[in-house]
Amino acid sequence: MDLVLDADQRRFRDEVRAFLQDALTDGLRAGQSRVIGVYPEPDVSLAWQRKLFERGWAAPTWPVEHGGTGWTALQRFIFECECAQAGAPLLYPIGIRLVAPVIMAFGSPEQQARWLPRILSGEDYWCQGFSEPGAGSDLGSLSTRAVRDGDEYVINGSKMWTTHAHHANRMFALVRTREAERPSDGISFVAIDLDTPGVEIRPIISIGGDHDVNQVFLSDVRIPAENLIGEENRGWVYAKYLLEFERGYGLFSGRLRASLRRAEAALKAPATPAQRRRIAEVAMELDVFEMLELSVVGTLPNGAAPGPVSSVLKLRASRLKQAVTQLGVELLGADGVRRVEGSPGNILVTDYLNARAATIFGGAAEVQLGIIAKALGGL
Amino acid sequence: MNLALSDEQQLFADGIGRFLEKRYAFEHRRQMVAEQRWGDPAIWSALAELGCFGIAVPETAGGFGGGSVEIGLMMRALGRHLAIEPVAAAVVAGTLLGGTEGADDLIEALIGGEMRLAPCFDLVCGVSGVSGSARSLAGGHAAHGLLAACEQSLHLVDPADVRVTPVPLLDDTIGVDVVAEDAPSRRLEVGADWPRHRALAIARGQLARAWQALGVLEGALDATTAYMRERRQFGRPLGAFQTIQHRVAEMTVAAKEAEVAAMLGALVLDAAGPGADAERALSAATGRIAAASAIVAETAVQLHGGMGVSDELDISARFRHLQAFRFRAEAVEQPVERYAEAVVASGAHHHSAVLVEA
């Protein structure tokens, strides 16, 4: 067991640094520094994705045959760490990191050929149709229905809290295709083109005052049956697979450290001893979380799902996001109540407000605790 | 970089774990604590045979040349079984002696388990002898010799030449208060790299206590989850109640965090040696293991109900050990203050804690 980078690993890190030096513009950095929601706006993230795509680095988690880098988990860790350190935009993960593993594992070769290259290039921008007005933490009780009609499905219902649906051209969605004794048994996993007639997207304004999420209404939306991913009524299995990637496959420690730097940069005077103590408390948690990510994600074989420990990662990452953003507002002192549009202080306040969602989306903290107790505690 | 244990590391850890599982009965420990003993001489000899006291001594000095990971794995196993013997003191002593010349007799006796040494960093080594005082010194009650690790030199002091008062400590061990006034000593030869050896010994002491606490708290978590499966109230197992499940899950998360915190401390100390990076990692590790200790210890006692506040099970002993670890760490090592003044003040926390330069 040792932490020392060997010659190959150092060479790789230097290669990443050289690329960042060359490709990362001030404009892209500034775009990332203004992020107040979960992801940057597409003009920022897609501009960066195109540069990575040209370099062949847009999908560090994908195998080579689909256009991924084929990197080891450790290389990916180094890559994410260097990108965050340099202030590079966060890549929009819904396509690359969430739906793509499902398409690779359960989609047909035709679906893989149709969707994966366009996810990689950024031509397609996916959103995630899981939650509904009546199905949040109890996702299995969802009621959006898909009825088979010839070689089509007709979909009716609505999806809630759909992040970036207003930017997306495709949505993957969980829909009910059968009434079953166990609600989760009758669910299927489908892809919906958002320009299909009957799709209506309405904004939901967040606690921070901005527009990140939406409600998506689906009224007699007809999709071709070939948009079914995997087998009918097996969607819950694919959703759980996806959620492991959502919860335990991101590498957040570098991003959290960047948030901490941003929070400290807004200080008008050098930090007082009391402020340094508060910063230390958060930074110590962050150091240990970084080791947690490295030891869990950094040792996974490329493309492998992390398993139930992903709930520990999700819980820690979401609580740390809240701790870092709360520190940001604390450091503003009395100015933490000012909301002057575009000011550095308001970015921190908005980020703090929106970070409350971190322990709710992707399975609320209470859901994660339940999974941890059962899967890791044997209760 | 490689995050898997080597075969040798795994074998060493398994060997100690198996031995303690078989030989370290809680009932026997209870008796030793009631009689205010330092530990069990037979266990001490057996630990010597397993290589526990040579692990911190470099091979060039006659030891087994283990690193932080080996030390950590050993301390974790000892913590899991709530061993009271002063092995952490032996780790520090072995590290200190590794920086000496001509102390082969001491090293051999330490590794063989014939000589127990209590290292002390609070004494002053003057021309007329060793002076000063220390409180609650770990391993002092069992010691055949005190190792006064001063800034410029290392001295072996016979306990008969100083005033030693045994003090029962919160973690069920016996510490000593030491008062020395110009005590005679054997001065051990140290080289120019002595400050580095001394710093390494201090770091390893901190690391050893942290890994020991990790073992203690992992034992508390396992005992609690087992008890939640067995114990029935209101007609069902306690573990069937969601409020219990969530509290056990919080313990599980805390224990996982403590585990990786301990790894962080060990791996950075091995990669970078004693210095700023290691101090940062050890402060973070100590601080977060202390926080995890509070969660695990308090929840373990609470969920055990009446049994948790009795001395019937080992849970109360685990509580006492973990709180002793916390109180000592927060008062002596002051991880948050140190991190604030050394790491935050320099801006080092703006960079990765794990991608350190060797």
Q: Confirm if B335 and B286 have CB atoms less than 8 A apart.
A: yes
| B340 found inside a domain | yes
User: Do B181 and B206 share a structural domain?
Assistant: no
Residue A360 vs residues A356, B106, B353: alpha-carbon distances, Å: 8, 59, 28
Q: What average pLDDT does range B321-344 have in this prediction?
A: 97
Flag whether B41 is in a domain.
yes
CA distance B244 to A370: 10
pLDDT value, residue A61? 87
- pLDDT score recorded for residue B339: 98
Nearest chain A Cα to B264, which residue? A291
> B38 exposed, middle or buried (CB, 10 Å; 0-12, 13-18, 19+)?
buried
Read out DSSP for B234-289? TTEEGGGSHHHHHHHHHHHHHHHHHHHHHHHHHHHHHHH-SSHHHHHHHHHHHHHH
User: Sorting pLDDT into bands at 50, 70 and 90, what band is B237?
Assistant: very high
Probe site for chain A from B229, B253, B257, B263 (most A CB atoms < 10 A): B253
B1–A290: do the CB atoms touch at under 8 Å? Answer: no
Q: Which residue has the tokens 């890559």?
A: A79
Same domain, B52 and B78: yes
How much is the pLDDT for A165?
Answer: 98
Is B2 inside a domain boundary?
A: no
Distance in angstroms (rounded) separating the CA atoms of residues A192 and A195? 9
- Band (pLDDT 50/70/90 cuts) for residue B123 is very high
Let me know whether B163 and B305 are in one domain. no
Whether B185 and B198 share a structural domain: no
CA dihedral of A151, A156, A158, A162, whole degrees rounded to 10: 10
The residues spanned by each domain of chain A are 7-91, 105-115+123-233, 252-376
Residue of A nearest to B281 (CA): A287
Residue B343: inside a domain, yes or no? yes
* pLDDT number for residue B70: 97
Distance CA B228, CA B205 (A): 35
Secondary element (H or E) of residue A316: helix A309-332
| Domain shared by B134 and B222, yes or no | no
B181 and B220 belong to one structural domain: no
Residues 6+ apart with CB under 8 A from B8: none
| Closest CA–CA distance from residue A323 to any residue of chain B (Å) | 15
> What's B254's domain CATH number?
1.20.140.10
Residues B53 and B138 both lie in one domain: yes
* Cα–Cα dist A239/A99, whole Å: 9
With pLDDT > 70 as the criterion, what percentage of chain B qualifies?
A: 100
Catalytic: A179?
Answer: no
Could you report the per-residue pLDDT of B137-152, keeping only the tens digit for each? 999 999 999 999 999 9
**Alpha helices (runs of H) in A34-99, residue ranges in sequence order:** 42-55, 73-86, 93
* B123 in any annotated domain: yes
Contact between chains at A2 and B6 (C-beta distance less than 8 A): no
**What distance in Å separates residue B241's CA from the closest CA in chain A?**
9
- Answer whether residue B358 is part of any domain: no
> Least CB-CB distance to A288: which of B257, B351, B358?
B257
Interface touch B264/A291, C-beta < 8 Å: yes
Residues of B within 8 A of A261 (CB-CB) are: 350
Co-location of B272 and B292 in the same domain? yes
ipTM exceeding the 0.95 mark: yes
Last residue of some domain: B146, B167, B190? Answer: B190
Q: How far apart are CA B103 and CA B96, in angstroms?
A: 11
Task: Quote the domain boundaries for residue B230.
Answer: 194-350
Q: What share of chain A is helix, strand, coil (3-state, %, to 5)?
A: 55, 15, 30
CATH class of A252-376: mainly alpha
Q: Give dist(CA B211, CA A153) in Å, integer.
A: 57
Q: Does B330 touch chain A (CB under 8 A)?
A: no
Q: State whether B268 and B332 are in the same domain.
A: yes
Residue B203 and residue B171 share a domain: no
- Asked whether residue B356 is domain-assigned, the answer is no
H or E stretch at A138: none
CA B333, CA B106: separation in Å to the nearest integer? 29
Tens-digit pLDDT profile for residues B31-82: 999 999 999 999 999 999 999 999 999 999 999 999 999 999 999 999 999 9
Q: At what angle do helices B68-80 and B7-23 cross, to 10 degrees?
A: 20
Same domain, B214 and B315: yes
Chain B residue at shortest CA distance from A270: B345
Please indicate, yes or no, whether residues B173 and B215 belong to a single structural domain of this protein.
no
Q: How many domains does chain B have?
A: 2
pLDDT one digit per residue (tens) for chain A, 379 residues = 899 999 999 999 999 999 999 999 999 999 999 999 889 999 999 999 999 999 999 999 899 999 999 898 899 999 999 999 999 999 999 999 999 999 999 999 999 999 999 999 999 999 999 999 999 989 999 999 999 999 999 999 999 999 999 999 999 999 999 998 998 899 999 999 999 999 999 999 999 999 999 999 999 999 999 999 999 999 999 999 998 888 777 899 999 999 999 999 999 999 999 999 999 999 999 999 999 999 988 777 766 777 888 899 999 999 999 999 999 999 999 999 999 998 999 999 999 999 999 999 988 999 999 999 999 988 9
| Domain-terminating residue out of B164, B190, B216 | B190
Annotated catalytic residue, options A82, A132, A246, A293: A246
* CA distance to B55, B61, B66, B77, per residue, from B12 (Å): 10, 20, 11, 11
CATH topology of domain A105-115+123-233: Butyryl-CoA Dehydrogenase, subunit A; domain 2 (2.40.110)
Domain end (from B170, B190, B210): B190
What is the DSSP-derived secondary structure letter of residue A64? G
CATH of the domain at B20: 1.10.540.10
Classify B279 in phi/psi space as left (phi over 0), alpha (psi -120 to 50) or beta. Answer: alpha
